[in-house]
Amino acid sequence: MVSNGMLSQDEIDALLKGDNPEPQEELAVEDYLTSIEEDALGEIGNISFGSSATALSTLLNQKVDITTPNVTVVLKKDLAEEFPHPYVAISVNYTEGFSGMNLLVIKQSDAAVIADLMLGGDGTNPPEMLDEIQLSAVQEAMNQMMGSAATSMSTIFSKKVDISPPAIDILNLSDGEGTETIPDHDIFVKISFRLKIGELIDSNIMQLLQLDFAKSLVDGLLNPTAESVEPPVPTQEVKRPEPVPAPQMQTNYAEPTPTYAPPPQPQRQASQPQHFGASYGAAQPNVQPAVFSNFETFTPNESEARNLNMLLDIPLKVTVELGRTKRSVKEILELSSGSIIELDKLAGEPVDILVNNRLIAQGEVVVIDENFGVRVTDIVSQSDRLNNLK
């Protein structure tokens, strides 16, 4: 019914409901992405977010699973319907390797659980609203995830990929909040993953990419440029040693060599000397086995062996030292849960292996099942060990 030239609310709702199916029918993935592009985007997301799950699991001390992604296409005007509830949006710009923005969207309730775990909680009683500290905790978790994803993308595309620090914002499009976070593009590719964190979260985490940026990723994967491929080493620069001419071998024998002189075969001379002499008419070489000096071995007598066995049972304290630092009393008193202490060792540098507080070796940290271990890479020389005892 029309009243005074105005539509009633029921008529407006009916018109809106009648208009909704049309964009959904037009917005098919195959209209914007080929099957190869869709599979390539899914594979890129699968590899990059697989490494992100490992980084997030280390941060939260929880088992993190991210399933195979689902690739769809969504219009910017339909994002409010795609995200009807408040979400947390983390935007990252690529500063090297690519030119574009990556928008990561997660439910606010899931972000609250991650924030509670990051701040030392168990995640069972997360806050309903996120304050500044909790948003910073989520931002740090997403920073680690996206950093790990950028490293994986660097491996996939064989070039350096770097990102800017992530920016975080609350996305509540139904109330007009967070609209400035979304890039000014009409069409987006949404890559949705199922995220499971222990028994606390079983939800979805979504990645929004501009359509042209998504296509550039696929093009870079399927058609790598010459800059991303290492050039082969030119063969003309490799200089091989010239073979020794056959006439020079005449100086090695008392008798003249025949006209035909085969190339030298040093291995054959050593293994079959009789053929060598027969071919060139020279005398049989006198081959003798090598004689080595006898080295005296120390054999302890009965009393010495008994004393040595007694020493073998003495327990020693083995310590692996990751690094050291010096801090004032004030700085020590200011330490709290989550504080970071910088050590005097660089990442990847060998750790010190001490026996009774004396340095004897260096090694690298490894993980055996669920325990840490150290693989010995270098033993300190005897002179250095004696100097350490002083």
How does pLDDT run along the chain (390 residues), one tens digit per residue? 444 556 666 666 666 655 444 444 446 788 888 888 888 888 888 888 888 888 888 888 888 888 878 888 888 888 877 777 788 888 888 888 888 888 888 888 888 999 888 888 888 888 888 888 888 888 888 888 888 888 888 888 888 888 888 888 887 766 666 667 777 778 888 888 888 898 899 888 888 888 888 888 888 888 876 444 444 444 444 444 455 454 444 444 444 444 444 555 544 444 444 444 444 444 555 666 665 555 555 566 666 666 666 667 778 889 998 888 998 898 888 888 888 888 888 877 889 998 888 888 989 888 887 788 888 988 888 777 666 665
> CATH second-level architecture of 16-225?
3-Layer(aba) Sandwich (3.40)
d(CA 138, CA 120): 13
Rg of the chain over Cα atoms, rounded to whole angstroms, equals 35
d(CA 166, CA 135): 12
Domain boundaries, given as residue ranges, for the chain? 16-225, 314-329+344-390
What local confidence, expressed as pLDDT, does residue 305 receive?
A: 64
What local confidence, expressed as pLDDT, does residue 390 receive?
A: 59
Strands (E), 142-200: 162-163, 167-171, 187-197
Amino acid at 344: D
Q: On the CB side of 333, how many CA atoms lie within 13 Å of its CA?
A: 3
Kindly report the CATH number that applies to the domain delimited by 314-329+344-390: 2.30.330.10
The yes-or-no answer to whether 16-225 and 314-329+344-390 have a common fold is no
What local confidence, expressed as pLDDT, does residue 183 receive?
A: 76
Amino acid at 173: L
Work out the angle at residue 286's Cα, subtended by the Cα atoms of residues 283 and 289, and round it to the nearest 5 degrees.
Answer: 155
C-alpha 290 chain-centroid distance: 53
